[in-house]
């Protein structure tokens, strides 16, 4: 919404159309754990999802790509998604980073503070299994070791187009289920 | 051993005095201080302190070797009382090696939170990742006390580690009097990933990948500094064209950071159009990065010995794109400086005094906006910087306004450097290979510093050879710019209103991950 107003003011229609976004995303590799997804969501996420991004020790590249999702080029608000400030307002936790030991407890608390039905997306290679940090004493080798994960978006970091396409894929998968 | 480094061993009782002499009341600069566990080479635990003097392309490195044990604890003389810039380094050394800085005014733990049991020192070489991991208690809360401000009307505001925006984790404890922040206590190192120890288990090619992932938007600066250190330790040099390419990409990285930061400051004042314009400009640069190197974060370009991607292949085409960005940049800055409601918020907010910047060893934008003329590119010319003519921009006031305008000045300077390199490439004056023989081994005695001026300030690496059959390092110490600048925050925030904190924070744009490593 904000994005819509903004690029009307700026006078540049630079937002990528959805098909071009998908073409750029190279959506291969986005993994859905369809089992728990089907049980959890139902019709909840049809037209509106609210995402809480949690940095669990990433190098900060994934965060910048998430921030880029709200710029006038990607403008994900037009697809009915937005980032929110509190886990209490969220449908999806988008977790980045290998989960550093010091963040494990904070991530668990954030998960517990998110009302159900909720989804957890692990975003970025290190969120899957620790990536390059795998085996280090200070990380826990992936989000799945701390909270249950429903989907994974690969890349180091995944491009904004890929993150947007990944979230849309998950939203679609959940809205098909009646 | 590299030509502009002098290593000198000193006795523990002279250490403080010698450091104080080199620091010279703030005229010298403490660039890096670290410990290493060299018990397997017979040097025991060592401490190194790296100093440089403005105007001299020389690093003087004081070394303490074979630290002695006193009453069951290994100690070294703290230099924080004479070199305040050492305070975080010494606390880090105490956490990671269990070496006690004797005489440190505040020897509280810094890096390791309460979930790490006492007596576990991760960087000692006789303890493995697995052993440390098994000793951790992930559910344990960190209960170490925050600095408490007492008095009538003092209110504590805890924030984090999970913040409201899309930013990295850290805990801030404001002690506010009404709206005004009296004191800010920041607990960081939530993103500590044990990177220093990981380096020791990696060969030099893999090490570059890890260096790229210390801090997202400084990926190229970190990998360039790491490669610089490895190359110098192995006593090799890189071809001229590779040096020019690294210089080009360092400036490109600075450019996209500075423009993104200027845009983000608009988010701090609620100036949505400025933010949107800055974000669009940054996105354009990220795509240029992708087009040139295949990575939006300039990853996968550096290797010890040169670069893998020839980004100067089509100079004419790149030049046209840089010209387009220059035009957009100029109109963006003109637009912002004309927006008085935005600019007035920036003035006098988050003032960092020059003497505090000096004594705490500020670097980069934070230092230069407070009047310190400190730029690694000019102080220690390397890569292609020696052949370029450019100035170091400084501002005096040290407020958010100064940091924003300084970024604009430096972005203009970076654009000029990009163009100058592209013109040289176009005129076929930068011909040659892009990589020399890749560096696979460092001799056992090889040690060197690597450094670059990253977007946030100076980045230093120390690499010492002699690990596993010389194919792995014995010690790698990365030092991100943000490690030097985080301790400045409480001083810059003092006396400002709480709602200005995000703005002040954005004006420094410090990396949590880089500092936490």
Looking at this predicted complex, what is its ipTM? 0.92
* Residue whose C-alpha is closest to residue B492's, from B509, B505, B479, B480: B505
What confidence tier does A11 reach under pLDDT thresholds 50, 70, 90? Answer: very low
Residues B104 and B218 reside in one and the same domain: no
Residue B487 and residue B358 in contact, taking contact as beta carbons nearer than 8 Å: no
Count each helix (H run) and each strand (E run) in chain B, helices first.
18, 15
Residue B67 and residue B12 in contact, taking contact as beta carbons nearer than 8 Å: yes
Query: Within 13 Å, how many C-alpha atoms sit on residue B404's CB side?
Result: 31
First to last CA, chain B: 26
Return the CATH number at A45: 3.40.50.12280
Does residue A110 lie within any of the structural domains?
yes
Does residue A89 lie within any of the structural domains?
yes
Beta-sheet pairing, B457-464 with B475-479:
antiparallel
CA distance A140 to A127: 10
Tell me, what's the pLDDT at B275?
A: 94
- pLDDT one-digit tens code per residue, B117-135: 988 999 999 999 999 999 9
Residue B304 and residue B438 in contact, taking contact as beta carbons nearer than 8 Å: yes
Question: Which alpha helices (H) appear in chain A, and where do they start and end?
Answer: 2-10, 18-25, 34-40, 61-68, 101-113, 125-129, 160-176
Average pLDDT estimate for B474-493: 94
Average pLDDT along chain B: 92
* Confidence check: pLDDT of B232 > 60: yes
What confidence tier does A178 reach under pLDDT thresholds 50, 70, 90? Answer: very low
State the residue for tokens 């020019």: B244
Does residue A19 lie within any of the structural domains?
no
Instruction: Judge: B279–A72 Cβ closer than 8 Å, yes or no.
Output: yes
Chain A: closest CA distance from residue B186 (Å): 15
Return the CATH number at B33: 3.30.460.80
Does residue B493 lie within any of the structural domains?
yes
- pLDDT one-digit tens code per residue, B38-78: 998 889 999 999 999 888 899 999 999 999 888 889 999 99
Domain end position, chosen among B77, B109, B141:
B109
Nearest CA in chain A to B516: A57
Instruction: Judge: B138–A101 Cβ closer than 8 Å, yes or no.
Output: yes
Domain end position, chosen among B57, B83, B109:
B109
Is the bond leading into A157 cis (omega within 30 degrees of zero)? Answer: yes
Chain A residues in contact with B169 (beta carbon < 8 A) = 55-57, 103, 106
Nearest to B513 among A58, A68, A131 (CB): A58
Q: DSSP string of B297-318?
A: T-TT-EETTEESS-TTSSHHHH
* Confidence check: pLDDT of B394 > 60: yes
* Confidence check: pLDDT of A87 > 60: yes
CA distance B392 to B372: 10
Question: Which alpha helices (H) appear in B234-381, and where do they start and end?
Answer: 240-268, 272-293, 315-337, 340-346, 354-359, 365-369, 376-379
Does residue A16 lie within any of the structural domains?
no
Interface test with A, best of B112, B131, B166, B300 (most A CBs within 10 A): B166
First to last CA, chain A: 28
Instruction: Judge: A137–B276 Cβ closer than 8 Å, yes or no.
Output: no
Domain count, chain B: 2
Residue B358 and residue B33 in contact, taking contact as beta carbons nearer than 8 Å: no
Q: What is the dihedral of CA B77, B80, B83, B85, to 10 degrees?
A: 130
Q: How much is the CA Rg of chain A, to the nearest whole Å?
A: 16
Residues B100 and B205 reside in one and the same domain: no
Does residue B339 lie within any of the structural domains?
yes
- For the beta sheet containing A151-153, the strands, ordered from the edge strand earlier in sequence to the opposite edge, are A31-32, A151-153, A119-123, A92-96, A49-55, A81-83
Domain count, chain A: 1
Residue B182 and residue B154 in contact, taking contact as beta carbons nearer than 8 Å: yes
Tell me, what's the pLDDT at A177?
A: 46
Chain B: closest CA distance from residue A105 (Å): 6
CA distance A48 to B339: 35
Does residue B34 lie within any of the structural domains?
yes
Domain end position, chosen among B60, B84, B109:
B109
User: Which range marks the domain in which residue A142 is found?
Assistant: 30-176
Chain B: closest CA distance from residue A51 (Å): 11
Does residue A1 lie within any of the structural domains?
no
* Residue whose C-alpha is closest to residue A31's, from A140, A117, A142, A146: A142
Beta-sheet pairing, B29-38 with B44-52:
antiparallel
Does residue B97 lie within any of the structural domains?
yes
* Residue whose C-alpha is closest to residue B285's, from A63, A5, A68, A9: A68
Chains A–B, number of C-beta pairs less than 8 Å apart: 160
Average pLDDT estimate for B151-172: 91
User: Which range marks the domain in which residue B17 is found?
Assistant: 5-109
Does residue B116 lie within any of the structural domains?
no
Chain B: closest CA distance from residue A178 (Å): 33
Residues B104 and B200 reside in one and the same domain: no
Return the CATH number at B478: 1.10.645.10
Chain A residues in contact with B511 (beta carbon < 8 A) = 60
Q: A148 is written with which tokens? A: 């249950």
* Confidence check: pLDDT of A18 > 90: no
Does residue A129 lie within any of the structural domains?
yes
* Confidence check: pLDDT of A38 > 50: no
Residue B375 and residue B388 in contact, taking contact as beta carbons nearer than 8 Å: no
A40-44: list long-range contacts, CB under 8 Å, 24+ apart: A40/A116, A40/A117, A40/A118, A40/A119, A40/A150, A40/A174, A41/A117, A41/A119, A41/A174, A41/A177, A42/A117, A42/A174, A42/A177, A42/A178, A43/A175, A43/A177, A43/A178, A44/A91, A44/A117, A44/A174
Interface test with A, best of B205, B213, B291 (most A CBs within 10 A): B213
Does residue A99 lie within any of the structural domains?
yes
Average pLDDT estimate for B470-499: 93
List, in order, residues 6 or more apart from B511 with CB less than 8 Å away: A60, B168, B215, B216, B217, B218, B456, B480, B481, B482
Does residue A15 lie within any of the structural domains?
no
């Amino acid at each position: 919404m904000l994005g819509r107003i903004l690029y009307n003011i700026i006078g540049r229609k630079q937002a990528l159309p959805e098909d071009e976004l998908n073409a750029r995303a190279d959506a291969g590799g986005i993994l859905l754990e369809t089992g728990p997804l089907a049980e959890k969501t139902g019709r909840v996420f049809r037209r509106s999802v609210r995402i809480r991004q949690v940095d669990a020790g990433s190098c900060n590249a994934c965060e910048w790509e998430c921030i880029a999702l709200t710029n006038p080029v990607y403008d994900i608000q037009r697809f009915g998604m937005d980032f929110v400030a509190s886990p209490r307002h969220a449908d999806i936790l988008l977790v980045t980073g290998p989960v550093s030991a010091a963040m494990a407890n904070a991530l668990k608390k954030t998960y517990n503070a998110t009302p159900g039905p909720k989804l957890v997306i692990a975003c970025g290679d290190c969120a899957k299994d620790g990536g390059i940090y795998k085996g280090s004493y200070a990380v826990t080798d992936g989000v799945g070791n701390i909270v249950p994960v429903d989907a994974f978006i690969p890349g180091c970091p995944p491009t904004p187009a890929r993150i947007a396409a990944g979230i849309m894929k998950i939203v679609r998968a959940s809205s098909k289920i009646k | 051993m590299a030509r502009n480094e002098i290593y000198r061993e000193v006795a523990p009782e002279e250490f403080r005095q010698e450091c104080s002499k080199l620091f010279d009341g703030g005229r010298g600069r403490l660039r890096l201080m670290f410990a290493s566990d060299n018990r397997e080479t017979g040097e025991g635990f060592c401490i190194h302190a790296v100093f440089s003097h403005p105007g001299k392309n020389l690093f003087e490195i004081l070394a303490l070797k074979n630290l002695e044990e006193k009453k069951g604890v290994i100690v070294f003389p703290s230099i924080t009382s004479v070199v305040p810039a050492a305070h975080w380094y010494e606390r880090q050394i105490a956490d990671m090696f269990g070496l006690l800085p004797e005489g440190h005014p505040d020897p509280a733990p810094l890096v390791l939170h309460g979930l790490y049991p006492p007596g576990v020192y991760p960087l000692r070489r006789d303890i493995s990742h697995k052993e440390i991991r098994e000793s951790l208690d992930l559910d344990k809360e960190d209960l170490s006390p925050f600095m408490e401000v007492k008095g009538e009307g003092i209110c504590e505001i805890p924030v984090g580690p999970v913040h409201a925006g899309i930013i990295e984790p850290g805990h801030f404890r404001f002690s506010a009097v009404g709206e005004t922040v009296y004191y800010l206590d920041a607990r960081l190192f939530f993103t500590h990933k044990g990177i220093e120890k990981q380096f020791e288990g990696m060969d030099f090619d893999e090490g570059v990948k890890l260096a790229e992932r210390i801090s997202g938007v400084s990926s190229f600066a970190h990998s360039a500094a790491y490669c610089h250190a490895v190359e110098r330790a192995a006593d090799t040099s890189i071809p001229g064209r590779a040096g020019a390419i690294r210089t080009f990409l360092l400036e490109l990285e600075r450019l996209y950071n500075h423009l993104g930061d200027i845009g983000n400051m608009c988010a701090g004042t609620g100036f949505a159009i400025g933010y949107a314009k800055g974000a669009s400009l940054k996105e354009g640069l990220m795509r240029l990065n992708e087009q040139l190197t295949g990575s939006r974060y300039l990853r996968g370009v550096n290797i010890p010995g040169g670069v893998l991607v020839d980004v100067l292949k089509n100079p004419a085409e790149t030049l046209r794109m840089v010209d387009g960005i220059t035009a957009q940049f100029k109109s963006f800055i003109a637009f912002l400086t004309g927006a008085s409601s935005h600019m007035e918020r920036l003035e006098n907010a988050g003032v960092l005094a020059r003497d505090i910047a000096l004594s705490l060893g500020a670097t980069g934008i934070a230092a230069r906006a407070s009047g310190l003329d400190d730029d690694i590119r000019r102080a220690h010319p390397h890569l292609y910087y020696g052949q370029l003519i450019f100035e170091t921009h400084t501002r005096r006031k040290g407020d958010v306004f100064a940091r924003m305008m300084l970024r604009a000045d430096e972005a203009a300077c970076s654009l000029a450097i990009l163009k100058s390199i592209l013109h040289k490439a176009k005129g076929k004056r930068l011909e040659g290979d892009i990589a020399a023989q890749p560096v696979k081994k460092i001799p056992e005695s090889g040690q060197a510093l690597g450094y670059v001026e990253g977007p946030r300030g100076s980045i230093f690496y120390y690499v010492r050879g002699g690990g596993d059959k010389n194919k792995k390092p014995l010690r790698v110490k990365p030092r991100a710019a943000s490690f030097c600048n985080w301790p400045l925050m409480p001083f810059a925030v003092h006396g400002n209103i709480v709602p200005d904190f995000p703005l002040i924070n954005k004006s420094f744009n410090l990396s949590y991950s880089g500092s936490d490593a």
